[in-house]
Amino acid sequence: AGITQSPRHKVTETGTPVTLRCHQTENHRYMYWYRQDPGMGLRLIHYSVGEGTTAKGEVPDGYNVSRLKKQNFLLGLESAAPSQTSVYFCAISETNTEAFFGQGTRLTVV
């Protein structure tokens, strides 16, 4: 599936704002942001069921999202914290079943 995440790697300082981008060329309805930490399952941060709509997932605190266009789903960290050091995956699906994942963004907050 055509999913592009940017950046692929980022190192930022505590307290700075960060934006992660996800772009799809598949025209899938659902888009998701997950974080993956060692020894833990993927955890859903926020998701969107369509253009202009977003909803909270399991771990939304400290994050915001926007989906102004169907192809793009942005994840924002208003003030990055060391606890937000993680690998972030964007995923898309059409039927809210099988999901296709982007290559991930490795974020380090120092």
Residue 1 CB, shortest distance to another protein, in Å, is 10
Q: Which two tokens stand for residue 85?
A: 């050091």
Q: Which is nearer to another protein, 77 or 99 (CB)?
A: 99
Q: Which is nearer to another protein, 13 or 61 (CB)?
A: 61
- Dist. CA 85–CA 104, nearest whole Å: 13
- Dist. CA 46–CA 64, nearest whole Å: 8
H or E element that contains 23: strand 18-24
Binding site for another protein (CB under 8 A): 39-44, 57-58, 89, 96-104
Residue 79 CB, shortest distance to another protein, in Å, is 27
